[in-house]
Each structure stands twice: as C-alpha cells, then as structure tokens.
Structure 1
Amino acid sequence: MQLEHLALFMKIAQEKSISKVANASHISQPALSLQMQKLEDALGCRLFERSNRGIQLTDAGMITKRYAAQLMFTYEQFVEELHNLRNHNDTCRVAATQVAANYAIPCTLVKAKEKFPDFTFTLASMPSREVLRQVLGSQADIGFIVGETQESELFCKNVFSDQVVLVAAKDYTVRQSLSVEGLKHHPLVLLDESFSSYRMMADQLKSMGYDLDQFKVSYHLDSTESVKSMVMSGNGLTFLPYMAVKKEIYLQQLKIVDTENFCLRYDVSIVYKQKTENGNFQMAMVKKYFENMVPTTIC
C-alpha cells in the first residue's frame, strides 16, 4: 500500500467521481482505477460502490477514509518537521477547540508573530480530546481545551472563561426571559455532540431534571457559523458561547434571551508538554508567551 494511493482515494471519496480526480491529477481513468484496485487488494476489501449518484463508499471505505485522513495528516507533519530541520525554520503548531480557534486565538497569533518573527504559526480547530491527542503525540506544540486535563506529561493552566448563552434572531418573537419549561415551545438549532458547549448544555439541563428529547430540536449542525446562520434566518433559538456571538449581538443580528435559573460558564485552558522536545529554548519562550498573553489578546 502506497501513500499516494491513499491520497488519491481521499480525493475520490471527496469528489465521488473517479473521472474528475483522474482529470485533475493528470492521469488516465484506467490507470487510476487500477491504483484503486491495488489499494483494495492490499486492504482485502471493497472500498467503493458505483451508483447513479456516482461513487459511494462502502462501510470499509468509510473506515478507510477516517484513518487515511489521520495518516495523511501525520505524513504532512512529518515532512514539515524535516523541512523545518533542513531550513532551520521554526514552526509553532497550535491546536484549539473550534470556538477558541475562530474567536479567541487569532489575535494572539498576530501578536506572537510580531514577537517571534522567525516563527511560522499554524492554527487548526478540533474537539478538546483531539487537541490533547495531538499535543501528547507531538503533532501540536500548544493546545487550547475546554476544562482541564490531568495528563502528567502536560502543563495545563486556565487562560480565559466564557459563558454559554441562549440567543435568537433580533426580530424573532420570544419573551425577553424564558424558563426551561418555556424553552420547550421553541425550535432549537444546536451544535452536534462533538462540541464541548453542546455536552455542557445537555449536562446542565439533565442536572435540572430535563432531557433534550423533551425539546423541539430541529437541527444538529457541525459548525458554529452554520448554527448562527440558521438562527439569524429565524429558524429558532440556540445555545452558543458568548465569544462566538458577541459580534452579531453588537451588530444587532442576534439577541440574548435570558434563561431563568440557567447559568453555564466554562474555562478554556492552555496545554503543552512539560518538557520541550530537542531542548528548543525558543519554542519554550513561545509557549510561555501564549500562556501569559492569551488572556489580554482575545479577539
């Protein structure tokens, strides 16, 4: 099995078309089909099914897609580190939860670049558990997670706090303050369960004796921006971190709906390895800079 076969497989899975990928990759369709056949032979299972909707992944194909993405990411990190070693170029890789990556950390990156101009900074968003996995696996140098971790290898410190709020479109008809019972009469647009804010909200409701099945959940979406778009179009209410909606509240596109007896605050912590690899003194300084500056440079 070759990495280039996996890379082509990922493109086919995305495009759902062998011919499109063949044309874009400047290889013939029969040659690409043969490479995919070799990949299937190496793995011992069928990865694709043809249908009138194009190429569809089998169950084995879905599993392969998930792990191939991880393998390709690891390979890219491997190549990048070798490149940096050859060219004496330092890269600081930051991994953060989606809300922190989109609404908090970018401004800190700008300040960090001014302070450390020889560094290249990258920022990737992912769930907290994946942030921890990448920092522990040396795929990220600095991470930002919701809550804390007890991992002995990692330094962990709270750097800022935020609050999950209930919001609606500015012209959506709803009382200024709602009880949890009153919330049952409105459609909800929520993030999916991979988000910490969703799980915290569900846990808070459960502690009050409520289950989400009791509410009119119309949508589960996989990005904060898509949830905001839905709600701003008048499709219901949502619970989101204040940091993610403060701009829209300022622009009067969204409004906060007070929730009686419902207050949900959470902490975001910086994590990084206690011991800097390869004795990189500059990287240690960058980590300490983020630790000290994030609270004062949040966007």
Structure 2
Amino acid sequence: MHIEMLQHFQQVVDAKSISKVANETHISQSALSQMIQKMEDSLGYKLLERSNRGVEPTEMGRIVLKYSNNIIKSFEKMQREMRDLEKRTHTIRINADKSLVNYSLPCALYKIKRRFPNNKYELYSSTTDDIVKEVRNDLCDMGVTNERPVAEDLEIRKIGREKVVLVASKSFGIPDAIEIEQLLQYDLIALADSRYIIGPLKAELKKSGFTENDLSILFEVDAVSAVKSSIHNHYGIAFLPYSAVKKELYTGDYKMVAIKNVELYHDIYIINKQQAFMSSASCETVDCFMEMGEDSFC
C-alpha cells in the first residue's frame, strides 16, 4: 500500500465525496475509485459506503482513519529529516500548550535560534494529552506544557515558571488590592482547561476556608483572546499568565489587581524521549531550554 492511498482516503473521508477530491487533486474519478478499491482489496475490508450524507467510512474505515493520520505525519517527518540531512540542516518540531505558543515560547525560540542558527524550528499548538502522544509517536521532537503530565516512558523536566495575575479593565470597578474573600464578590471569566491556573488558586482558597465552587465564574472560554475580549467589555475579571497580558498592562488598558498575601505561579515543563533516541540538534535544544531556565521566557 502506498502512502498516497492513505492520503487520498483521508481526503475523501474529510470531503465526504470521491468526485470532489478527484477534482481538487486532478485525478480522474475512476482512477481514484480504483485506488480506494485496491486499498480495500489489500486490507480485505470495505472501507467506504455511500449514504444520503455522502461518502462515509465503515467501522473498518474508521479504524484505518484513526491510524492513517499518524502514519502520514510520520512519513512527512521522515521526508523532512532526509531533506535536512541532504541540506545539512535540522528541523525541530515543538508542540506546546496554546497559551505558550501564543505568548511565552516565541521569545524563547528567538534566543535559541540565535545560538543555533542552522536549526529550523517549527512551533505548533496542541493539548497536553496530545503532546504526550505526539512525542511518544515521534510526531514532534519535544513538547512544552503548563502542567506535568503522567508519562513514565518520557523525560519530563521543569524548565521554568510563570506568574499568574488577576487583571481587569482599567475602568472596571475594583480596587487595586483586595483580600482573597473579596474575590468571591466579582464575576470571573475563566479560561477553559486551565488546570495550571486553577490548581494554584484552589490551594490559596483552601487556606482561607473557601473552594473553587465559592467563586462567581460567569462563563468559560477556550482562548486567551476571548478572555481578553470579555475583560475589555467589562464582563468581569480574569486570572491569566503574565506573558499574555503584559502588553495591555504596559499600555494601561488593563490593571493588575493584587490579592493581599497571595502570589500565584505555574510551572512550565519540557517533554522529550530519552536523549539516546533523539537527534543531536534536538538534544542541544532541550539542553538550551534547561540551561536558560526561567530566563527562556520573556
């Protein structure tokens, strides 16, 4: 079976149409249909069926689809490494939590690139759980996360920490400093899937006899940009990584609200395979992250 078969199969499932993919890829519809048929004959199962919603995968087809993405990504990574060897360059893919990709890591990579100018760096966002899978399956060279995952087969090390700050619009009606019990009086905009923020906050609430349920969380959103929009519109206040709001604090659009006797931080971790299974360029990048530590992040 050729890799092109898996690629076209994936495209057909996504488009729910053989004819549409045939037009987009400049292959005749009959040739593409024959390619799918050969794939089915090779595997011994029917993979696609027609319905009133278009072409859809069978149960066996869904299994093929589940593994085809990793197979295609591994094939593409192999091709990149071969091209890199030919050009004597090294492409290093780093998958990281979205907030780190958007704010903290570009500065770190700028510093690392200056040290290793012949390396090419690619930075993509992913979830912590997916990052573990992607490192394990060689779909990326390393991962950077806001929380420590459980993965005994991988090396996971702390490379720094970042301050978490409570921010509000500059004209929002809240003092510059409050007691932790006063926090319960204000509507909060929460960043979804932000255990790295909620964890330290829950610990501080517990010290004062409160729980997460005592907070007045107005709603959750899944992007820092959406939290910022809500702050701008005076919907409430929010806890965010300092790197995500330092520009707005500098320009005066936001103000930082101190909670008396409380400081919140979250740790940042790097995830990689044992260095014996990594390229020398990847190893030197990990070592550089470790050496720079908290100075990695601007």
TM-score normalised to structure 2 length: 0.73
1:285 and 2:274 aligned: no
CA shift for structure 1 position 217:
2.6
Distance 1:115 1:71 in 2: 33
Structure 1 unaligned blocks of 5 or more? none
Matched-pair contact (CA < 8 Å) for 1:48–1:55: yes
- Counterpart residue number, 1:191: 191
Is the aligned partner of 1:8 residue 2:11?
yes
**Structure 1 pair 216–283 and aligned structure 2 pair: CA distance change class (3 A):** closer
Task: Report how many residues are paired.
Answer: 290
Please give the secondary structure, in 2, of the residue aligned with 1:167.
strand
CA deviations over 1:141-183 (Å, ceiling 9, x no partner): 2332335467555444432221222111111122323344433
Cα distance between partner residues in 2 of 1:48 and 1:297? 53
**Distance 1:115-1:187 versus aligned 2 partners, 3 A rule:** same
Shift in Å at residue 121 of structure 1?
Answer: 0.8
Counterpart of 2:275 in 1: which secondary structure? coil
- Tell me if structure 2 keeps the 8 A contact 1:192–1:198: no
8 Å Cα contact 1:191/1:222 also seen in 2: yes
Instruction: Classify 1:218/1:149 alpha carbon distance in 2 versus 1 (closer, same or farther; 3 Å).
Output: closer
Whole-Å separation in 1 of the counterparts to 2:275 and 2:50: 42
Secondary structure of 1:143 counterpart: strand
* Per-residue deviation, 1:250: 0.9
Farther off after superposition, 30-39 or 196-205 = 30-39
The 1:241–1:87 alpha-carbon spacing in structure 2 relative to 1, beyond 3 Å, is same
Distance 2:229 2:36 in 1: 39
Please give the alpha-carbon distance, in whole angstroms, between the structure 1 residues aligned to 2:47 and 2:9.
Answer: 15
Q: Which amino acid aligns with 1:269?
A: Y
Distance of 2:168 and 2:229 partners within structure 1: 11
Give 5+ residue unaligned stretches, structure 2.
none
Q: Which has the larger radius of gyration?
A: 2
Given that 1:276 and 1:283 are in contact with CA atoms closer than 8 Å, whether structure 2 keeps it comes out as no
Q: Compute the TM-score of the two structures, normalised by the length of structure 1.
A: 0.73
| 1:271 to partner: Cα distance | 3.2
Q: CA contact under 8 A between 1:187 and 1:236: conserved in structure 2?
A: yes
Per-residue CA deviations over 1:35-63 (Å, capped at 9, x if unaligned) read 99999xx676889875xxx9999xx9999
Give 2:80's aligned residue. 80
Aligned-pair Cα RMSD in Å: 4.3
